């Protein structure tokens, strides 16, 4: 492999979802940077990948990016993985990628798993145009972020914790509309994968009773435009 930074997506559920290229790159890496070495250790052991595993997360990345870039510039091949999915998408990665680009170091991002793509395709809500909002702030700023989306015509995608799902749906109902179509997908590619569809208010009623566990992707219908209203 040419000396560079490799961004390697890892499975979001079923380990068999990893690509052959991802396995090959990880096997040939001098160092693998991982968000959580315990989680990634399970994956690497499963595929008999023996490259050294270094911790790289939001709490230490500001201190380590220069050292990592220097190692790549000196000829090492370094791969970055997250706990699940594609690094940089609601996970650490951006700072290291930007640093390498600024220093003229080649960055190669492999295609692979990310949770919002299967969630939006499986939602039944138009996916030809959409925006990805990721995680909203846990406390201050949530309503402001949602207010800014009130007239957004594209489908909207959020990541959310199971502990804040009902709160998010209630905020969407209050600010956008309880009648908008939406879906909640959880545990994508895992044993208990599930997608629940309905209006925002129907989803509130469902999850207030049932509760929810696991990683969540919430997909919400965009605002109707004047053209939509005319066609109806």
pLDDT digit string, tens, across residues 6-24: 999 999 999 999 999 999 9
Count CA atoms within 13 Å of residue 128 on its CB side.
2
Residue 80's pLDDT band, with cuts at 50, 70 and 90, is very high
Contacts (Cβ under 8 Å, ≥6 apart) of 222:
126, 130, 152, 153, 154, 155, 156
Express each pLDDT in 167-189 by its tens digit: 999 999 999 999 999 999 999 99
The SS3 call for residue 164 is: coil
**Can you name the CATH fold of 5-109?**
Cobalt-precorrin-4 Transmethylase; domain 1 (3.40.1010)
Domain boundaries, the chain: 5-109, 116-231
Whether the predicted pLDDT of 158 surpasses 90: yes
- For residue 16, the model assigns a pLDDT of 93
- pLDDT at residue 111 greater than cutoff 60: yes
Q: Which CATH class is domain 116-231?
A: alpha beta
Q: What is the pLDDT of residue 142?
A: 95
pLDDT value of residue 226:
65
pLDDT at 58: 87
């Amino acid at each position: 492999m040419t000396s560079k930074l490799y961004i390697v997506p890892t499975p979001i559920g079923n380990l068999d979802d990893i690509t052959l290229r991802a396995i090959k790159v990880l096997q040939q890496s001098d160092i693998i940077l991982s968000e959580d070495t315990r989680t990634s250790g399970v994956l690497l052991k499963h595929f008999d990948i023996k490259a050294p595993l270094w911790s790289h997360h939001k709490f230490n990345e500001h201190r380590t990016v220069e050292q990592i870039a220097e190692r790549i510039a000196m000829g090492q091949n370094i791969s970055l993985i997250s706990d699940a999915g594609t690094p940089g998408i609601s996970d650490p990665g951006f700072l290291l990628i930007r640093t390498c680009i600024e220093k003229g170091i080649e960055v190669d991002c492999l295609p692979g798993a990310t949770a919002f793509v299967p969630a939006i395709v499986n939602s039944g809500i138009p996916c030809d145009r959409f925006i990805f909002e990721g995680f909203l702030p846990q406390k201050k700023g949530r309503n402001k972020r949602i207010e800014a989306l009130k007239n957004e015509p594209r489908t909207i995608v959020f990541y959310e914790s199971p502990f804040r799902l009902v709160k998010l749906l209630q905020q969407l109902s209050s600010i956008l509309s309880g009648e908008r179509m939406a879906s909640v997908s959880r545990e994508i590619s895992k044993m208990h994968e599930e997608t629940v569809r309905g209006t925002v208010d129907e989803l509130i009623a469902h999850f207030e009773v049932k509760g929810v566990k696991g990683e969540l992707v919430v997909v919400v219908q965009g605002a109707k435009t004047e053209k939509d209203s005319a066609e109806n």
